[in-house]
């Protein structure tokens, strides 16, 4: 390897060679071609993303001797090479961080008034501009207010908020973004090829990831690797240089966790241990990866994570497959391992225990529509409507003023009175009454057959079962009412799945499973393909705030007239019952037959 560092050697000499920052390149190129370069530019962005490189390109471009402005900087003329080699007297590079003495920076800036000695433009490249002293800023400001025609200031900073607003307002500002893993990996491959360095699959991405967006760091790592590796640089080389553990084992473990495959999970842990890898680092890499899956699942936003194309697809698939509660549990479980792994005398045992725990103790699933534990009040009403705990007292009519002699008369308590107490009186029939307006003073008696059937259904239902059924049916109604919205939410993820759903409708809720009735076995098979089902379940989870599984059926169940569930379903369709449920925010806890009069 040559003495010259790769970064310096491969620093872009023309705009065409520059990697990334296309938006900046395009704007500057146009300005040069049309001869309307300004007097002050401010480049902001993280370190190592090409701000100084771009500044030099601009310095060259305004001084390049190539006859065609659109071809500047040519990278080969006398001016271009002099600037590239740092011997152009009219291009002044200063690092504000090291020119902190007041006079120094200020004097340098004030010298801009003298004409350039050779070049067309006198260019000041001020790195870490935010570090300039107040005096230097003042000198700069004065210059920028009336810049000489021959002056070009290019300011670069990683901390733009520390640059005074008076300066900012006089600069054309460009924001530099971090290099993506993909573009850095591609650039590394190009340079490696030109340098005769062989890079195995996965190695450039691993280097890029470790360099966290800085091309300078990435080339530094490549240079180090090239200096000690004989033959092709593999992923393993990169990982051992950087203390990374086998990504393949991390991925194998996550895949095993998601598949709930304990054997495969323990095999992955043991493979890592047998390699003599750093187990703490392995646990950290695992947590970092699970975190990425969690973020992706929570937001669906890839841009939150800097992913190479090689891993984006994998993570997206995992995110669809995983349950959020499990991800959270695993992240917590494995992030607690660091200390244990450091102090344990038992090698990788804590990791094994954590893996077993992760798979044997499934994460609790939140139950926003859990059945309420309160006992059913013995009520003669059919259906019995149990109020949810809130300051509504449905059973009682509006009360008169309390008769408490010791106290002064109080205003009537502001308890929202039930619209009509007769709604929950025994006069309500179990059969859906034909749109009878409320209140029903004297409803017709139920048909004897229905009553007899209802009688057979005694003894009264377990209130917990009834409540659960009622909650499920309530959810089913919600799904039916919002089915079109649901399909619309599916569309951006998969138009195919949305099309399939056009032949489906919500049919039942069984605990944590939502049953769809579909028109053919073809639709059932397609919709139940894991990737399609994952899309449906993900949209359901987003809309309902809870994890539900989905299954499809092509057969309609025959609803037994004595079936409690069927009766609740029917009762929920009754206008009066609906009104009662809505007014009291109530649940059906039982259906009782009416005594024939």
- What are the residues binding Zn ion (CB under 5 A)? 64, 66, 73-74, 77, 80
Q: In which element (H, E) is residue 468 found?
A: helix 463-481
Q: Which is nearer to Zn ion, 79 or 199 (CB)?
A: 79
Q: Which is nearer to Zn ion, 15 or 153 (CB)?
A: 15
132 closest CA partner among 163, 92, 174, 110 = 163
Q: How far is the CB of 91 from Zn ion (least distance, A)?
A: 13
333 closest CA partner among 363, 366, 296 = 363
Q: How far apart are CA 2 and CA 4, in angstroms?
A: 5
Q: Which is nearer to Zn ion, 83 or 283 (CB)?
A: 83
Q: Which is nearer to Zn ion, 67 or 389 (CB)?
A: 67
Q: Which is nearer to Zn ion, 117 or 274 (CB)?
A: 117
- For every residue of 147-193, DSSP letters joined together read --TTEEEEEEES-GGGS-HHHHTTSEEEEPPPPPHHHHHHHHHHHHH
Q: How far is the CB of 64 from Zn ion (least distance, A)?
A: 3
Q: Collapsing DSSP states into helix, strand and coil, what is residue 292?
A: helix
Q: Which is nearer to Zn ion, 72 or 524 (CB)?
A: 72
Q: How far is the CB of 66 from Zn ion (least distance, A)?
A: 5
Q: Which is nearer to Zn ion, 32 or 333 (CB)?
A: 32
**Residue 459: other Cβ atoms inside 10 A:** 5
Residue with tokens 């092709």: 232
Q: Which is nearer to Zn ion, 81 or 474 (CB)?
A: 81
Q: How far apart are CA 209 and CA 239, in angstroms?
A: 11
Q: How far apart are CA 2 and CA 102, in angstroms?
A: 39
Q: How far is the CB of 202 from Zn ion (least distance, A)?
A: 39
**Residue 31: other Cβ atoms inside 10 A:** 17
Q: Which is nearer to Zn ion, 66 or 173 (CB)?
A: 66
**Residue 21: other Cβ atoms inside 10 A:** 22
Q: How far is the CB of 73 from Zn ion (least distance, A)?
A: 5
Q: How far apart are CA 78 and CA 72, in angstroms?
A: 13
Q: Which residues pair with 123 in a beta bridge?
A: 91, 152
Q: Which is nearer to Zn ion, 119 or 140 (CB)?
A: 119
Residue with tokens 């310096």: 8
Q: How far is the CB of 55 from Zn ion (least distance, A)?
A: 16
Q: How far is the CB of 112 from Zn ion (least distance, A)?
A: 23
CB 521 within 8 A of CB 554: yes
Q: How far is the CB of 68 from Zn ion (least distance, A)?
A: 11
Structural tokens at position 53: 């490189």
Q: How far apart are the first and last CA of the chain?
A: 103
Q: How far is the CB of 76 from Zn ion (least distance, A)?
A: 6
Helices (H), 306-432: 309-321, 324-335, 337-343, 349-360
Q: How far is the CB of 154 from Zn ion (least distance, A)?
A: 17
Distance of CA 89 to the CA centre of its chain: 50
């Amino acid at each position: 390897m040559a003495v010259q560092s790769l970064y310096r050697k491969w620093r872009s000499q023309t705009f065409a060679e520059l990697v990334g920052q296309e938006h900046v390149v395009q704007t500057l190129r146009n300005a040069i071609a049309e001869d309307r370069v300004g007097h002050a530019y401010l480049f902001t962005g993280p370190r190592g993303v090409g701000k100084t490189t771009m500044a030099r390109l601009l310095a060259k471009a305004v001084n390049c001797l190539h006859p065609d402005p659109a071809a500047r900087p040519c990278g080969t003329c006398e001016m271009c090479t002099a600037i590239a080699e740092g011997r152009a007297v009219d291009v002044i590079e200063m690092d504000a961080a090291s020119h902190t003495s007041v006079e120094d920076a200020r004097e340098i800036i004030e010298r801009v008034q003298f004409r350039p000695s050779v070049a067309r433009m006198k260019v000041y490249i001020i790195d870490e501009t935010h570090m300039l002293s107040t005096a230097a800023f003042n000198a700069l400001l004065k210059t920028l207010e009336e810049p000489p025609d021959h002056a070009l200031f290019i300011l670069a900073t990683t901390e733009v908020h520390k640059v005074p607003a008076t300066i900012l307002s006089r600069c054309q500002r460009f924001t530099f973004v971090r290099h993506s893993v993909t573009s850095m990996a591609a650039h590394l491959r190009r340079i490696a090829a030109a340098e005769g360095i062989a890079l195995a699959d996965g190695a450039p991405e691993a280097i890029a990831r470790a360099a966290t967006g800085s091309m300078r760091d990435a080339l530094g790592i490549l240079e180090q690797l090239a200096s000690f590796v004989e033959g092709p640089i593999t992923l393993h080389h990169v990982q051992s240089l950087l203390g990374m553990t086998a990504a393949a084992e991390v991925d194998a473990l996550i895949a095993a966790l998601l598949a709930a495959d304990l054997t495969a999970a323990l095999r992955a842990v043991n493979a890592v241990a047998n390699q003599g890898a750093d187990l703490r680092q392995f646990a950290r890499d695992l947590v970092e990866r699970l975190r990425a899956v969690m973020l992706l699942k929570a937001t669906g936003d890839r841009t939150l994570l800097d992913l190479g194309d090689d891993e984006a697809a994998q993570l997206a698939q995992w995110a669809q497959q995983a349950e959020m509660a499990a991800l959270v549990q695993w992240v917590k479980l494995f992030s607690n391992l660091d200390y244990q792994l450091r102090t344990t005398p038992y090698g990788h045992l804590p990791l094994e225990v954590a893996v077993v725990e992760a798979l044997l103790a499934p994460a609790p699933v939140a139950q926003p529509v859990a059945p309420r534990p309160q006992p059913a009040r013995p009520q003669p009403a059919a259906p019995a409507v149990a109020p949810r705990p809130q300051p509504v007292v449905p059973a009682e009519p509006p009360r008169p003023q309390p008769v408490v002699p010791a106290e002064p008369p109080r205003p009537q308590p502001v308890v929202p009175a039930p619209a009509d107490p007769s709604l929950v009186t025994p006069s309500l029939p179990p059969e859906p009454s034909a749109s009878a307006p409320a209140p029903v003073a004297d409803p017709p008696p139920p048909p004897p057959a229905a009553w007899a059937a209802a009688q057979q259904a005694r003894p009264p239902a377990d209130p917990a079962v009834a409540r659960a059924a009622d909650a499920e049916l309530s959810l089913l109604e919600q799904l039916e009412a919002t089915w079109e919205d649901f399909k619309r939410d599916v569309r951006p993820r998969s138009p195919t799945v949305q099309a399939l759903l056009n032949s489906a409708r919500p049919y039942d809720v069984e605990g944590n499973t939502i049953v769809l009735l579909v028109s053919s076995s073809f639709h059932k098979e397609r919709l139940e393909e894991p990737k399609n089902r994952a899309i449906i379940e993900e949209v359901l989870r987003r809309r309902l705030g809870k994890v539900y599984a989905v299954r499809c059926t092509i057969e309609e169940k025959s609803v037994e007239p004595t079936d409690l569930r069927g009766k609740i379903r029917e009762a929920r369709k009754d206008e009066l019952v609906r009104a009662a449920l809505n007014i009291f925010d109530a649940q059906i806890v039982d259906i009782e037959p009416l005594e024939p009069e």
